[in-house]
A and B are shown apart, each in its own frame.
Chain A
Amino acid sequence: MNKELTLDMLAGVEKPARYTGGEFGSIVKEEADVRIALAFPDVYEVGMSYLGYKILYHLVNKMEGIAAERVYAPWIDLEQKMRSRQVVLTTLETKRALSEMDLVGFTLQYELSYTNILNMLDLGGVTVKSAQRREEEPFVILGGPCIYNMEPLADFCDLALIGEGEEALPEILTCYRQWKEAGRLGGRRGFLEQAVKIKGVYVPSFYEAGYNPDGTLQETKPVYAGAPVLVEKRVVQDMDTVDFPTAPIVPFEEIIHDRIMLEVFRGCTRGCRFCNAGMIYRPVRERKPAVLEKLARQLVDNTGYNEISLVSLSTADYCCLNSLLDNMILQFKDERVSVSLPSLRIDSFSVDVAKKVQAVRKSGLTFAPEAGSQRMRDVINKGVNEENLMEAVSGAFANGWRKVKLYFMIGLPGETDEDVVAIASLARKVLAQYKKITGKGGAEVTVSVSSFVPKPYTAFQWVPQNSLEELHKKQMLLKDNLKVKGIKYQYHEDHVSIIEGVFARGDRRLGAALYYAWQHGERFDGWQDCFNFDLWQEAFKAAGVQPEFFAARERGEEERFPWEHLSCGVNRAFLWREYQRSKVGQLTPDCRFNACTGCGVCQNLDVKIIEWEDEA
């Protein structure tokens, strides 16, 4: 087996440091009983920015005799050289081929990275289809936010972990070690039968999907008696009881989020109806301010980074944000460590907070009204209005900010041309506000527009995605209305959104299309230069599936979905109710600050909201 990336291979590729490892803080275990690869199906600088793997890497490596090693997708320039010289894909730590690992884990962050999973398995010497994997090959385990609808990947994985990994992954690895030490009792199936007993573990081959004559799903049911009918997600009860890595790897290369990422809380209950993360990470569980301050101290000492980003799905909602910021800024000022927030909600935006975190830098501020008209914002339960936005930008402009970036979506359910044009009007008002506040021109407003993709476990899981033609028409309509000096318009490639939409709500029958597309050269679909829409059409045809069936069809109230045997704890009845409320623009308030909305998570999973208001 040829594993060596020779001098000339590395000398001839972009960013060779992606492939050589040895970073400060990386953990190399020469001796281990069990090895798991934490594989990320994208390039190094994207994968290294993923907090989930930072957590799992340290958690697993703390375990005696068990090693977690990293592997990323080689960019196409290196892949070409690897294939022509038959060099196998290895981990960065001990340079073992993926085929030499006990388990290979992939995180599902984004539907368009699925082809990379197949490609990495193949490059790593692992049989791509799980049914054909030989006895001694590694087990392929999937996890991550897209896990709730992993059915299109059912043919390629052995098992999946639904939900949070801090407690469940060590359990799976311990189970694996016992099976291995017992002489691989019962072969591959023997391990899967043991693993499926662990809460949150899903073994796709233990289930069968049946279909109705109209092509819709009848049900996904277990064909092995030991497999649960419903696999519920794993959830950490209290964030302060699980380990958070305080000595993460510090890469040589500049990665996407090249700073300390400190998770202040998990979950978000704002209840935006388009948002998958807002459903699957419930409930809100905050870390104590004192815990966060201690973690921050250790992280600064151990990494040498000069920026701490307080991350979560909506950091401005952290109960003790102001005092936490004050304490951290005070503590780290002399060390020239700054504190930053990934994004700010319009309604909780305060100039004071923005001034604190940005310190003296007047770079741009980013807001996400998500929709242009109030009607549309109510449909998606965004819970903000134009006044909130105007107040936020006025405060920012009055305090010296000049650049504002606004995020919007098009293609939302029930959207009319007027709703689309309202995006342009709102952007113009923001631009005009600068002149009003400062008395001069020169503001820069960037309007960034993405195409809405309906996702599983959201109120919009029933709705049809806009067609390519509709999306294109809306993009152009917006373009025509945004030809204004001072406004920059950015929009996403809508072909990519269509494929994302197919896989987001697709089923097992898409596995054949995925395999075909990969075999015919698709990979890095999220990177525009690599994406080939025509090839995907060919792949769907070859697999005998209609992409519109999955993406562009209004689904019936009673239709079973391919993700419903995997549960994030949110009840279907709640989502349906939210969908109905959306149609009449009725708002549903955040359960953190109001009454329980009946989503079902706390009751189904025996968890509760954790806030530390009194600790501040």
Chain B
Amino acid sequence: MKLRLQITKDREIRFISHLEYLRTIERAIRRAKLPVAYSEGFNPHMKFSLASALGVGVVSYAEFVEIVMAEPVDPMEAASRLIKALPRGIRVVGVDAVDNSAPALMSVAGGAEYWVTIPYQADCQAAIKAFNETEKLTYAKPAPKSAAKVKEINVKFYIPHVDAVQTGGFLKLRFHCRITAQGSMKAVDLLNTLNQYYHLGLPVELADIERRDLYRVDDMGNMWPMLDSIYTKE
């Protein structure tokens, strides 16, 4: 069986990287002494994965981890053992168990919802309206190591629509971002896109980005939760 959990990456650990987050979960699983499966071979690794990578600095309330068990466990009992073994900043908010034959969580994630809060005074409603009405927008993302190389991102394919409100000196954005087998885009790059096309001058480094949800999308475009049965710890 595969144990699936919805977990968080809270504010206090927002700056740990995806790799560090993975390693932290692996060690928590070991401390919880869950009967987890390992790969064969010279250098066996624990069979577990996350549904979707998250950028450094992004808070998330919807991370999904899938752990392959070597023997069946009671999902609730396993979750409560894991809760005790996790560091502050990672909470378990949902648990589910599926058959080993179920497709990997990573392959079923279809979209994510983000909330962004950023200090900003000037009016940007016109820019948001223009963004929403544009058919196509390409963001040329500079490659990490060389400024000469860029990666072209079809922004409107991933993020068709953005909701914006401005209150108390802050701009708040809400949007859904598509996830495909070929990839997705980072929430922060929406801000970079808005700056590039509409010259908003958003202070990107000050953006407080939260991933509020991660979900499956069916052929009809309907959204479904990642876990079938949800248990929520009060």
Residue positions of A touching B, CB distance < 8 A: 6-8, 10-12, 16-17, 19-20, 22-24, 250, 252-254, 301-306, 335-336, 360-361
**Is the CB–CB distance between A250 and B16 below 8 Å?**
no
| B99 located at the interface, meaning its Cβ lies under 8 Å from any Cβ of chain A in the complex | no
Q: Which A residues are in CB contact (< 8 Å) with B56?
A: 11, 16
A336 near B38: Cβ-Cβ < 8 Å: yes
> Contacts A16-B57, A17-B15 hold; do A302 and B31 have CB atoms under 8 A apart?
yes
**B side interface size, CB within 8 A:** 33
* Chain B nearest CB, measured from A302 CB (Å): 7
Could you say which of A10, A250, A302, A304 contacts B29, with CB atoms under 8 Å apart? A304
Q: Give the interface segment out of B19-27, B73-81, B122-130, B220-228.
A: B19-27
Q: Are B23 and A254 in contact (CB under 8 A)?
A: yes
Which residues of chain A have C-beta atoms less than 8 A from B27's C-beta?
Answer: 24, 250, 303-305
Contacting residue for B85 out of A304, A305, A335, CB 8 A: A304
A360 vs B28: C-alpha distance when bound (angstroms): 25
**Does chain A have a CB within 8 A of B103?**
no
Q: Is the CB–CB distance between A17 and B16 below 8 Å?
A: yes
The answer to whether A11 and B87 touch (CB under 8 A), given A22-B12, A304-B29, A336-B38, is no
Q: How far is the CB of A13 from chain B (nearest CB, A)?
A: 9
18 A-B residue pairings within 8 Å (CB atoms)? A6-B206, A7-B57, A7-B205, A7-B207, A11-B57, A17-B16, A17-B17, A17-B20, A23-B87, A24-B86, A24-B87, A250-B24, A250-B27, A253-B20, A254-B23, A304-B85, A361-B42, A361-B43
How far, in whole Å, are A306 and B38 apart by their CA atoms in the complex? 13
Residues of A within 8 A of B12 (CB): 20, 22
Chain B residues with CB below 8 A from A306, complex form: 30
Which chain B residue has the least Cβ–Cβ distance from A250? B27
**Interface membership of B89, Cβ < 8 A:** yes
Kindly state the separation between the CA atoms of A408 and B67 in the bound complex, as whole angstroms.
Answer: 46
Q: Does B43 lie within 8 Å of A301, measured CB to CB?
A: no
A252-B87, A304-B31 known, 19 other contacts, Cβ within 8 Å: A6-B206, A7-B57, A7-B205, A8-B205, A12-B205, A22-B87, A22-B88, A250-B24, A252-B16, A252-B20, A252-B23, A252-B24, A301-B31, A303-B27, A304-B27, A304-B29, A305-B27, A336-B44, A361-B42
Say yes or no: A20 contacts B31, CB within 8 Å.
no
Does B13 count as interface, using CB distance less than 8 angstroms?
yes
**Candidate in A6, A11, A12, A360 with the most chain B CB atoms within 10 angstroms:** A11
Q: Which residue of A lies closest to B85 (CB)?
A: A304
Assess whether B29 is in contact with A20, with CB atoms less than 8 Å apart: no
Q: Are A254 and B20 in contact (CB under 8 A)?
A: yes
B206 touches A7 (CB 8 A): yes
Min distance, Cβ A303 to any Cβ of chain B, angstroms:
7
Residues of chain A lying within 8 A (CB to CB) of residue B142: none
Give A7's nearest chain B residue, CB to CB. B206
Is B31 a contact of A303 with CB atoms below 8 Å?
yes
Among candidates B15, B43, B208, residue contacting A20 with C-beta atoms closer than 8 Å: B15
Chain B nearest CB from A204 CB (Å) reads: 39
CB distance from A519 to the nearest CB of B (A): 30
Q: Which residues of B contact A361 (CB under 8 A)?
A: 42-43
User: A304 and B205 in contact (CB under 8 A), knowing A11-B57, A17-B20, A20-B12?
Assistant: no
Alpha-carbon distance between A305 and B28 when the two chains are bound, in angstroms:
9
Residues of B within 8 A of A336 (CB): 38, 44
